[in-house]
A and B are shown apart, each in its own frame.
Chain A
C-alpha cells in the first residue's frame, strides 16, 4: 500500500499536465469534454481512495515517504518528502474528498465553456499544490504548495480573463496574498535560524528539547514570538483575516466551483492548518495567541455584519466564509487547535454545499433570461419549487452553518465558543471575545436564513419566459452527498460532556495524538456546569434566530431588508460600504504607489535613467564624429602616417 502513496501527490500533477498540455496540443481532446472531465475527476478521486485506505491502515505512527532529494547545502537538507499523520490524513481526506465532488460538479457546471480543458487542468494543479501543502514534512515543500495554491487561485479567479473586473480581482488576490507570503518567507528564515532545520518534526524536537533543557526563553530568546507573529501574518493572507481579507470577497469573480473548492473549503484553510501544525510553537507564545483571538473575533463580527447587507448570493457566502474563518482562528487563539480543524472539516462540507448550490441557482437564473444579474437575490425568490434538490441541500447547509442542534455546524461552533469561554478564567479578555463570537453566531444564523429564504421561498420576484429548472444529476449528486455530510459530519466530534468524552472521537481518539491543545481541564472541571449553560445558549440562539428570521421574512419578504436597515441605523451605511477597507487601502496604499510610480516615471525614468543611457550613447557618437575626420580617403595621407609610424618605431628601436 505504501508504494501507492506517491500517487496522492503525483496523480493530480499528471492530470494537470495531461489535460493542460494535451488539451493545448490536441484539439480532439479539447473538444471531448467528458473525457477531460473524467481524467480530471479521476486524478482527484484516486488519491482520495488511496488516502482512505491509508486512513484505515494507519499504524499509529506517522508514515513518511520521500520522492527525491531537493536541496543539499551545508547543514540544510531538503527533500520532497511527505508525512501522513493524523492531521495531514484528515486534511488530505477533506481536500481530495470535497475536491473530487467539486470536480464532478464542474463537469456539469462548465459544460460548453471554451476553456473546459484549461479549467480542469487548473483544478488538478490546485489539488496537487494543496496536497503538497498539507502532506509536506518540511516548511519549504509546504511553501511550494502555499505558493502553488496562490497561483492556482489567481488563474481560476481570472479564469474569464477577458472581463476586466475579473482579471483585476485575480490580481488583487495575488498581490494581497504576496504580502502574507512574504511574512511566511521571513518566518522560515527565523525558523532556520532558531532550529537549524525546516522540518516540522525537527521544530517539534527542538521545542521539546529546549523545554526539558534550559527552558524556552533561555534557548530561543524572543525568536519564537517573531516566528509565531510572522506565521500568523502569513495565515491572515491565505485565510482571509483582518487586515488581509479584502481579496476573498472579490475572489468570487471566478467560476462558482472554484469559489466552493478554493475560496471556501480548502485553500483558505491553509493558514489554519499551518498554525495547527505548529501547535507547540504557538502554545509557547501565548501573547501571539491573544492577538490571534482578538483579530479573529473582530474579523468574524465584521464579516458577519457586512454579510447582512449584501444582496449578491455569492458575496453573502464569501463574507460568511471570512466570518467562519474568523471562528476557526478564534479556536486557534484559544489554543484549541483540534477544534479549529474540526470546524475546518464541518465548514468544508456545508460551505462547499452552499457554494455549489448557489452555482446551481445562478445557472437556473441565467436560463430564465429574465434578470439582469443572475446572482442578485432581490430578483430571485420562490426558486424552491423549481429546483427541489438544490433548495433542500441549501437549506440543510444553511441550518448547519446557523448551528441548529444535531447538524454539523452546531458541534464545531459550540466547541469553539466553549474553548474561548474557558480561556476567560485565566485571561478575562477571552470573555469579551466569547461575547463577540456569540453575537456573530446570532448574526450568522440571521443572514444565512435570510439568504436561503429570499432565494428559495416566498413569491418569485422575476418574470420568466422560461421557468428556471433543476440542474442535471451530475450537479445535484455532489450537492446531496455534501448536504448529507453537512448534516451528519459533526458526529465524529460530539461534545465532551456527552458520555464524558467517549464519543469525542475526532479529538480524543484521533487528532490529539498529534496535536497538543492548551490545557483547559482545570477550568472545565471547576466550572463544569458552565458547559451545559453554553450548550443551552447555543441551542437557544440558533433555533431562536432561525425561527424568528423565517417568520420575519415570510411576513415582509424583501421589504424586511428595509426594517433591518432602520434597525442598524447609521451603522448600516458602514456595513453596506464593507467598513470601507477597500477605500482605505486604495487611498493609503494603491493611490500613493501609483503617484510614486508616476513621479518616478517623470523624473527618475525620463531624466536619470534615460539621461544616463542617452548620455553614454551621445558621448560615443560625439567621439566618433570627431575621430572620423581622420579618415580622409586620400591614400597619400595614409601612406604618410604609416611612414611616420615606421620611422618612429625604428627610432624607438635604435634610440629607445
Chain B
C-alpha cells in the first residue's frame, strides 16, 4: 500500500485539483458568495503547495509566506463580503453578471 503513503506528489495533486476547482467555480458560477468561496479555495490550494514545498526543502520561508497569504485572504474576505453586501442592498440580488453597469 505504498501508493497510499502520503508523499510530495499527492499533496501537490490535491493542491492542483483544489486550484482547478476554484478557477472553474469563478468562471461558471454567478452567485457572488460562491465565487468568493472559490477564490478562497484557490488561495488555500496555493497555501497547501507552499507548505508542501516548505517541508520538502526543510525551509521555513514557504510556511511563513502562508501566513501572509492567510492575512491577505482574511482582508480580502472583509472587503469582498462588504462589496457583496453593498451589491445586495442596491440590487436585491448578488448575481455578478448583473453588475456590468460600467460596460459600454
Interface residues of A (CB under 8 A from B): 628, 631-636, 639-640, 643
B26 at the binding interface (Cβ < 8 Å)? yes
The reply to whether A634 and B100 contact each other, CB–CB distance below 8 Å, is yes
B4 at the binding interface (Cβ < 8 Å)? no
Q: Complex formed: what's the CA distance from A631 to B102 in Å?
A: 10
B28 at the binding interface (Cβ < 8 Å)? yes
B5 at the binding interface (Cβ < 8 Å)? no
Chain B residues within 8 Å of A643, by CB: 23, 27
B104 at the binding interface (Cβ < 8 Å)? yes
- Give the shortest distance, in Å, between B53 (CB) and chain A (any CB): 18
Q: Complex formed: what's the CA distance from A628 to B104 in Å?
A: 7
Choose one: B30, B96, B100; the contact of A632 (CB below 8 Å): B100
Q: Complex formed: what's the CA distance from A635 to B102 in Å?
A: 12
Chain A residues within 8 Å of B45, by CB: none
Choose one: B27, B102, B103, B104; the contact of A636 (CB below 8 Å): B27
The reply to whether B103 and A632 contact each other, CB–CB distance below 8 Å, is yes
- Which of chain B's residues has its CB closest to A643's CB? B23
Contact with A along B17-50 (1 / 0, CB 8 A): 0000001001110100001000000000000000
Choose one: B23, B97, B101, B104; the contact of A635 (CB below 8 Å): B97
Q: Complex formed: what's the CA distance from A634 to B28 in Å?
A: 10
The reply to whether A633 and B103 contact each other, CB–CB distance below 8 Å, is yes
The reply to whether B100 and A636 contact each other, CB–CB distance below 8 Å, is no
Interface residues of B (CB under 8 A from A): 23, 26-28, 30, 35, 96-97, 100-104
- Which of chain B's residues has its CB closest to A646's CB? B23
The reply to whether B103 and A639 contact each other, CB–CB distance below 8 Å, is no
| Across the A-B interface, the 3 shortest Cβ-Cβ residue pairs | A633-B100, A633-B103, A636-B27
A633-B102, A636-B30 provided; 16 other pairs, C-beta below 8 A? Answer: A628-B104, A631-B104, A632-B100, A633-B100, A633-B103, A635-B26, A635-B35, A635-B96, A635-B97, A636-B28, A639-B23, A639-B26, A639-B27, A640-B27, A643-B23, A643-B27
> Could you list 14 examples of A-B contacts with CB < 8 Å?
A628-B104, A631-B103, A631-B104, A632-B100, A632-B103, A633-B101, A633-B102, A635-B97, A636-B26, A636-B27, A636-B30, A636-B97, A639-B27, A640-B27
Chain B residues within 8 Å of A634, by CB: 97, 100
Chain B residues within 8 Å of A631, by CB: 103-104
Chain A residues within 8 Å of B101, by CB: 633
- Give the shortest distance, in Å, between B39 (CB) and chain A (any CB): 10
Q: Complex formed: what's the CA distance from A633 to B102 in Å?
A: 7
Chain B residues within 8 Å of A640, by CB: 27
- Give the shortest distance, in Å, between B26 (CB) and chain A (any CB): 5
Chain B residues within 8 Å of A632, by CB: 100, 103
Q: Complex formed: what's the CA distance from A634 to B96 in Å?
A: 8
Chain A residues within 8 Å of B100, by CB: 632-634
Q: Complex formed: what's the CA distance from A239 to B26 in Å?
A: 88
Q: Complex formed: what's the CA distance from A643 to B30 in Å?
A: 17
Chain A residues within 8 Å of B103, by CB: 631-633
Chain B residues within 8 Å of A633, by CB: 100-103
- Which of chain A's residues has its CB closest to B101's CB? A633
Chain A residues within 8 Å of B28, by CB: 636
Q: Complex formed: what's the CA distance from A631 to B104 in Å?
A: 8
Q: Complex formed: what's the CA distance from A628 to B97 in Å?
A: 18
Chain A residues within 8 Å of B35, by CB: 635
Chain A residues within 8 Å of B27, by CB: 636, 639-640, 643
Q: Complex formed: what's the CA distance from A639 to B27 in Å?
A: 6
Chain A residues within 8 Å of B30, by CB: 636
- Give the shortest distance, in Å, between A623 (CB) and chain B (any CB): 14
- Give the shortest distance, in Å, between B12 (CB) and chain A (any CB): 15
Q: Complex formed: what's the CA distance from A493 to B82 in Å?
A: 105
Q: Complex formed: what's the CA distance from A633 to B97 in Å?
A: 7
Chain A residues within 8 Å of B96, by CB: 635
Chain B residues within 8 Å of A636, by CB: 26-28, 30, 97
Q: Complex formed: what's the CA distance from A639 to B103 in Å?
A: 16
Q: Complex formed: what's the CA distance from A631 to B96 in Å?
A: 15
Chain A residues within 8 Å of B26, by CB: 635-636, 639
Q: Complex formed: what's the CA distance from A635 to B27 in Å?
A: 7
- Give the shortest distance, in Å, between A526 (CB) and chain B (any CB): 100
- Give the shortest distance, in Å, between A639 (CB) and chain B (any CB): 5
Q: Complex formed: what's the CA distance from A639 to B30 in Å?
A: 12
- Give the shortest distance, in Å, between B103 (CB) and chain A (any CB): 3
- Give the shortest distance, in Å, between B91 (CB) and chain A (any CB): 14
- Give the shortest distance, in Å, between A555 (CB) and chain B (any CB): 95
Q: Complex formed: what's the CA distance from A248 to B36 in Å?
A: 88
Q: Complex formed: what's the CA distance from A631 to B101 in Å?
A: 11
- Give the shortest distance, in Å, between B9 (CB) and chain A (any CB): 18
- Which of chain B's residues has its CB closest to A640's CB? B27
- Which of chain B's residues has its CB closest to A636's CB? B27
- Which of chain A's residues has its CB closest to B20's CB? A643
Q: Complex formed: what's the CA distance from A322 to B28 in Å?
A: 94
Q: Complex formed: what's the CA distance from A611 to B42 in Å?
A: 54
Q: Complex formed: what's the CA distance from A636 to B27 in Å?
A: 4
- Give the shortest distance, in Å, between B33 (CB) and chain A (any CB): 14
- Give the shortest distance, in Å, between A182 (CB) and chain B (any CB): 56
- Give the shortest distance, in Å, between A82 (CB) and chain B (any CB): 70
- Which of chain B's residues has its CB closest to A633's CB? B100
Q: Complex formed: what's the CA distance from A632 to B35 in Å?
A: 18
- Give the shortest distance, in Å, between B46 (CB) and chain A (any CB): 13
Q: Complex formed: what's the CA distance from A632 to B102 in Å?
A: 10
Chain B residues within 8 Å of A639, by CB: 23, 26-27
Q: Complex formed: what's the CA distance from A526 to B24 in Å?
A: 121
- Give the shortest distance, in Å, between A634 (CB) and chain B (any CB): 5
Q: Complex formed: what's the CA distance from A634 to B35 in Å?
A: 13
Chain B residues within 8 Å of A635, by CB: 26, 35, 96-97
Q: Complex formed: what's the CA distance from A633 to B96 in Å?
A: 10
| Interface-central residue, B30, B101, B102, B104, by most chain A CB under 10 Å | B104
Q: Complex formed: what's the CA distance from A427 to B104 in Å?
A: 88
- Which of chain A's residues has its CB closest to B104's CB? A628
- Which of chain B's residues has its CB closest to A634's CB? B97
Q: Complex formed: what's the CA distance from A631 to B100 in Å?
A: 10
- Which of chain A's residues has its CB closest to B102's CB? A633
- Give the shortest distance, in Å, between B24 (CB) and chain A (any CB): 9
- Give the shortest distance, in Å, between A373 (CB) and chain B (any CB): 70
Q: Complex formed: what's the CA distance from A634 to B30 in Å?
A: 10
- Which of chain A's residues has its CB closest to B38's CB? A639
| Interface-central residue, A628, A631, A634, A635, by most chain B CB under 10 Å | A635
Q: Complex formed: what's the CA distance from A634 to B27 in Å?
A: 10
Q: Complex formed: what's the CA distance from A472 to B28 in Å?
A: 101
Q: Complex formed: what's the CA distance from A634 to B103 in Å?
A: 9
- Give the shortest distance, in Å, between B40 (CB) and chain A (any CB): 15
Chain A residues within 8 Å of B102, by CB: 633
- Give the shortest distance, in Å, between A624 (CB) and chain B (any CB): 10
Q: Complex formed: what's the CA distance from A381 to B27 in Å?
A: 105
Q: Complex formed: what's the CA distance from A592 to B14 in Å?
A: 87
